[in-house]
């Protein structure tokens, strides 16, 4: 394949592109316009399933790269044009990956406003209004109130990295699903779905720090499905505003990473420093949620400075989780499961 720097930064991973293409194939879509095709990762996946593809790209260099990348597929054609100006006659499906970055001499910069994307979200909605099967890849940080009504929103994470939220309309939207978290990892794929709109659905109980701490996958958090995972685990939140779950028992789940809780103490730098010294800790992994504390700065405060001092301190490793429970800041000493 040929790449450009900006194109590679936004290109769809092939494991995810394959799932995009599968949606259109299962819906019986025979011709898809890939509007804003970039380097053609999604077009490659679509064409490999014998779907006819019209790949449209406005940037001339990127369109040239896409042309080379699609050479093996006679059922794929690249058009160098503005995605909003191409005729869709005879095309029953549309996939879009709007440009969410602007390129300058200093590099690329991310855009956050969906109406500033190229093409904008309103253009996507107008295509969906025509009745065609429409899917669009958006940044995973998309606010819930920006997600259009009448679509399915699926957040996707790959090996713990949240890569996108895909919005699906009409024939490629699954019945009864409003939001979903798809987790792709070494153990395969797992998905959590909800028919409830954002802000609705079950509420998780609150409870103490005990047993095992669960850190939900980023896709679960983005999709607003933390409470659903807590209930699956027989667990509870430690604070209603923070995505940390505790449960008395260890339960295997693809939707959260588990830690055994060894100790809980109030957040106090002086006391923590004494604890680190007494335990002979030389390496600290620090996680945090719901607090402004910076792990890097805290690590500098807790561990002795200089190579000689660090060597003397020992080589034991500890994992600390900093969070807030109500108004109180706490530190959990945990062990990854």
Q: What is the pLDDT of residues 131-157, one digit of tens each?
A: 999 999 999 999 999 999 999 999 999
Residue 325, H or E segment: strand 316-325
Q: Kindly state the average pLDDT of the residues 262-274.
A: 95
In the chain, % of residues over pLDDT 90: 85
pTM for this prediction? 0.91
Residue with tokens 């028919």: 195
Question: How do beta strands 212-216 and 245-247 pair?
Answer: antiparallel
Cα torsion for 306, 307, 309, 310, to the nearest 10°?
110
Residue 156 forms beta bridges with which residues?
164, 182
Burial (0-12, 13-18, 19+ Cβ within 10 Å), 304: middle
Distance, in Å, from the CA atom of 180 to the CA atom of 217, rounded to the nearest integer, reads: 12
Indicate the DSSP class of residue 241: T
Q: What local confidence, expressed as pLDDT, does residue 9 receive?
A: 85
Q: How confident is the model at residue 239 (pLDDT cuts 50, 70, 90)?
A: very high
Q: What is the pLDDT of residues 33-56, one digit of tens each?
A: 999 999 999 999 999 999 999 999
Question: Is residue 307 predicted with pLDDT exceeding 90?
Answer: no
Q: What local confidence, expressed as pLDDT, does residue 281 receive?
A: 92
Q: Which are the contacts of 182, defined by CB distance < 8 A and separation ≥ 6?
A: 19, 154, 155, 156, 157, 189, 190, 191, 219
Contact call for residues 95 and 42 (beta carbons, < 8 A)? yes
Q: Kindly state the average pLDDT of the residues 95-122.
A: 76
Q: What local confidence, expressed as pLDDT, does residue 138 receive?
A: 93
Distance, in Å, from the CA atom of 239 to the CA atom of 204, rounded to the nearest integer, reads: 10
* Least confident interval from 5-19, 28-42, 92-106, 214-228: 92-106
């Amino acid at each position: 394949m040929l790449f450009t720097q900006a194109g590679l930064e936004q290109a769809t991973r092939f494991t995810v592109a394959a799932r995009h293409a599968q949606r259109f194939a299962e819906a019986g879509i025979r011709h898809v316009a890939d509007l804003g095709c970039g380097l053609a990762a999604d077009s490659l996946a679509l064409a490999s399933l014998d779907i006819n593809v019209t790949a449209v790209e406005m940037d001339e260099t990127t369109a040239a790269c896409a042309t080379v990348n699609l050479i093996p597929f006679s059922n794929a054609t690249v058009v160098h044009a503005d995605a909003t100006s191409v005729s869709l006659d005879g095309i029953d499906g549309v996939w879009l990956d709007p440009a969410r970055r602007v390129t300058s001499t200093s590099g690329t910069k991310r855009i956050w406003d969906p109406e500033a994307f190229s093409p904008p979200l309103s253009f996507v909605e107008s295509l969906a209004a025509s009745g065609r099967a429409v899917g669009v890849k958006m940044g995973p940080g998309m606010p819930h109130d920006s997600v259009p009504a009448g679509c399915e929103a699926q957040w996707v994470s790959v090996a713990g990295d949240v890569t996108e939220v895909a919005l699906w309309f009409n024939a490629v939207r699954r019945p009864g699903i409003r939001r979903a978290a798809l987790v792709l990892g070494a153990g395969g794929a797992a998905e959590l779905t909800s028919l409830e709109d954002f802000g609705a659905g079950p509420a998780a109980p609150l409870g103490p720090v005990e047993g095992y701490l669960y850190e939900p996958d980023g896709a679960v958090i983005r999709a607003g499905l933390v409470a659903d995972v807590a209930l699956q685990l027989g667990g509870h939140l430690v604070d209603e505003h923070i995505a940390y779950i505790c449960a008395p028992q260890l339960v295997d789940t693809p939707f959260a990473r588990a830690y055994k809780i060894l100790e809980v103490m109030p957040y106090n730098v002086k006391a923590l420093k004494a604890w680190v010294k007494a335990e002979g800790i030389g390496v600290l992994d620090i996680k945090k949620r719901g607090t402004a504390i910076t792990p890097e700065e805290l690590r500098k405060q807790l561990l002795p400075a200089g190579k000689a001092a660090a060597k003397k301190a020992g080589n034991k490793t500890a994992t600390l989780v900093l969070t807030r429970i109500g108004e109180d800041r706490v530190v959990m000493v945990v062990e990854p499961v």
